[in-house]
Amino acid sequence: MAVKIIMTWDISQENEQKYFEFIISEFIPGVQKLGFHSLDAWATVYGDYPQIQVGMIAVDIAEVQRMLSTVEWGVLEEKLLDFIDNFSYKIVPARTGFQF
């Protein structure tokens, strides 16, 4: 069964420009190279919710666990954490439409 990894975070204000450069040049290509399929990205414009939510699809839970245990993911996550606050993720069964 396909699964979705849902990640949320807030962008550190002092690193906003570097964050966007990293996301475009390294993070998106890196997660695609690992085998994730980018599905959606959302920005919160009002309310007390994480600023960014990203959803990516994988074939199954075993594939997600394999991808998240790679050195490549570790490097991407470490770099991402330099630009953000309040990072969290969860793995859920994939379904159509918006998922929290």
In tens, the pLDDT along 44-88 reads 988 889 999 999 999 999 999 999 999 999 999 999 999 999 999
Q: Residue written as tokens 């190279």?
A: 33
Contact 4, 92 (CB under 8 A): yes
> What pTM does this model have?
0.87
- Does the pLDDT at position 9 exceed 80? yes
How confident is the prediction for the chain on average, in pLDDT?
Answer: 91
Distance CA(62)–CA(66), nearest Å, equals 6
Q: Residue written as tokens 């695609």?
A: 32
- Tokens linked to 78: 């470490």
Torsional sign, CA 26, 27, 33, 37: negative
Class of domain 3-93: alpha beta
The share of the chain scoring above pLDDT 70, in percent, equals 96
**Residue 99 confidence class, pLDDT cut points 50, 70, 90:** low
